[in-house]
Amino acid sequence: MEGQLAVAEYRREGDVMIFTHTEVPPALRGGGIAGKLVQFALESAAREKVKIIPQCSYVEHYIRRHPEFASLLKTAP
């Protein structure tokens, strides 16, 4: 649907990406858009060799369903 905006928001702090929010407009939900956005962002983090902190529950659940991205999680110092 034209004019609709889906987002996977994060902020970058050095070598860490902190995912804060994922949103897809109601009219576009159920089509896998959020998953594609998060997958692209996580693949980018892997290429850039940065760690991630999922403050967004969607990103946290996505990583549980796709354990190949679990190695990107930043562990406590």
Residue pLDDT, tens place only, 4-29:
899 999 999 999 999 999 999 998 89
DSSP structure class, residue 13: E
Which residues neighbour 61 within 8 Å (Cβ) at sequence distance 6 or greater? none
Question: Does residue 77 form part of some domain?
Answer: no
49 in Cβ contact with 14 (< 8 Å)? no
Number of domains making up the chain? 1
Confidence band, pLDDT 50/70/90 cuts, at residue 77? low
In this prediction the pTM is: 0.88
Question: Does residue 31 form part of some domain?
Answer: yes
Structure tokens at 1: 């649907």
Is the pLDDT assigned to residue 39 strictly greater than 90? Answer: yes
Range of the domain at 19: 7-72
Question: Does residue 39 form part of some domain?
Answer: yes
Structure tokens at 6: 């889906």
Ordered DSSP codes for 11-53: EEETTEEEEEEEE--GGGTTSSHHHHHHHHHHHHHHHHT-EEE
